[in-house]
Structure 1
């Protein structure tokens, strides 16, 4: 039985390796699903078990400088990804309608291949969000939704980059997501920079609006496929998955917006407890796509916390 299972796994591995697009076969973490899957499994185990156990009897680390460097790096990385997506097609030759997966090796097509892979790699870099939570003993913020989002995105994008590295209309959501992350990590950067920058964080409320705009753009764009007379997109499954992702998170964010900013339903603020090293804890929130709205040191703002679709104010 075990021998047969191992044999089937090896056959699957061989089959998947044969389907990897030759244009990305030599890129890091693209030679097969084993390395990628191993990293993500290790991430889940560390986030939920090993990390909390190691930190159980230790003081939380103060990582302000590290987070400033990290957040600034993520702003620059995502800005570069947006620029490359624009130059590789979305700002030059793409029609924003039925843009098919590109199969050639022209310089512009290879540029789209590279930026698609870079977006995929950026999802692994974002795993450090959770590492910061663990080291700062913010385990309550490492929800199922947070871990699922951070592990699910790179896992699914491996398949996308493997089969369609120049994915045409299936890559718009990546460019939009990277653009939103430029804004989000800039917010995190200001938050991590200390109290003197808190006066510049008045626009926190509009982070939700920006997320809503993101999901509307992605959903409307991809919905065109269902109304076109002809669009021979090579892998329609990508279209369906992107549409479901956009609509699902739009509903979650809309619910938060209504509850928090229209109905004004605010639960009592949870008082921060002093840390062992004498520093005060700061409120950190998790939004519907698993991202946190505070990975810095801001602690006087109330934040919406969404866990499995339920809104809670902290």
Structure 2
């Protein structure tokens, strides 16, 4: 059990800004221990994912692509609904913390206020990153172009989400930023799967939202480093913090590069 696990045991999980439903109340410290104990599940899933990409693309090489449109509609609609609900249930804590006099510091560095609803949907958020690996299954079976950004993003987000939950990192307060973006993103994908024509500028907006998310997350981690450098307590694992910053900075570079190549440079082929 690491330091943040011990801190979590002493929390009074608050409910004045949001009441949790019965199914949202669970043994939070025990779940943190399980994440630490069963890391092999994380690494095994990543191994299977990479093997599927390699073997799946080889297997599909001389086969016709599968349609899977109906399945894709339900898949994206399901993830959109999950993202919307997660955002709605996690947002009250974010608003509560930001409304405090030292709101930015509270939401990034402190564990003094937490809610079972937010904790539960934070857990669901971490586990949903396993489910989202299924996005790649559709790409491979439909023989669409699988770019580096896609599979790199899926693997590293899964890693960050798992360890963020395991370490009870305060950064997890802001999972609602990701679910907010995904609410729009998966809704957009579901509409596309339904063959609804959507203006190109909407696709551009989805990428801009992703880039904006990376800018915000970079700020959060740089702010954490600043507070630690000033000697103020910040309940974040320093080694994890540097890892997050490095990965998110790489996201920023990759998403900006994708945006430039897909929308700003003229191309003879349609970007998928």
Q: TM (normalized to structure 1)?
A: 0.66
RMSD over equivalenced CA pairs, Å = 3.1
1:265 lines up with 2:271 in the alignment: no
The answer to which structure has the higher helix fraction is 2
The reply to whether residue 152 of structure 1 matches residue 156 of structure 2 is yes
Q: CA deviation at 1:46?
A: 1.1
**Counterpart in the other structure of 2:218:** 219
Aligned residue number for residue 198 of structure 1: 197
Q: Which has the higher contact order (CA 8 A, sep 6+)?
A: 2
| 1:40 equivalent in alignment to 2:46 | yes
Secondary structure of residue in 2 paired with 1:96: helix
Q: In the alignment, which of 81, 103, 106 is matched to residue 76 of structure 1?
A: 81
1:36 and 1:252 map into 2 onto residues whose CA distance is 24
Aligned residues: 242
Indicate conservation of the 8 Å contact 1:98/1:233, yes or no: no
1:92 shift after superposition: 1.8
Q: 1:60 to 1:254 in 2, by over 3 A?
A: closer
- Pair 52,254 (structure 1): closer, same or farther in 2 beyond 3 Å: closer
For 1:125, the equivalent position in structure 2 comes to 131
State the distance in 1 between where 2:34 and 2:158 align.
11
Aligned twin of 1:272: none
Q: Is the 8 A contact 1:98 1:231 kept in 2?
A: no
Provide the TM-score with structure 2 as the length reference.
0.75
Mind listing any 5+ residue stretches in structure 1 that lack a counterpart? 1-14, 270-301, 304-313
What do the CA deviations read for 1:32-79 (whole angstroms, capped 9, x no partner)?
111222122111101111x23443443321111111101111111111
Change (3 A) 1:189 1:260: closer
1:253 corresponds to which residue?
A: 255
* Residues 153 and 175 of structure 1: CA distance in aligned 2, closer, same or farther (over 3 Å): same
Unaligned runs of 5+ in 2: 9-26
Contact 2:153 2:251 in 1 (8 A): no
Q: CA deviation at 1:253?
A: 3.3
Structure 1 78/211 Cα, relative in aligned 2: closer, same or farther at 3 Å?
Answer: same
Instruction: Go from structure 1 to structure 2 and tell me whether the alpha carbon gap of 1:220 and 1:268 turns closer, same or farther (over 3 Å shift).
Output: same
Shift of 1:266: 1.6
Q: Contact 2:165–2:172 at 8 Å: present in 1 too?
A: no
One of 103, 111, 135 as aligned partner of 1:102: 111
Q: Is the 8 A contact 2:149 2:254 kept in 1?
A: no
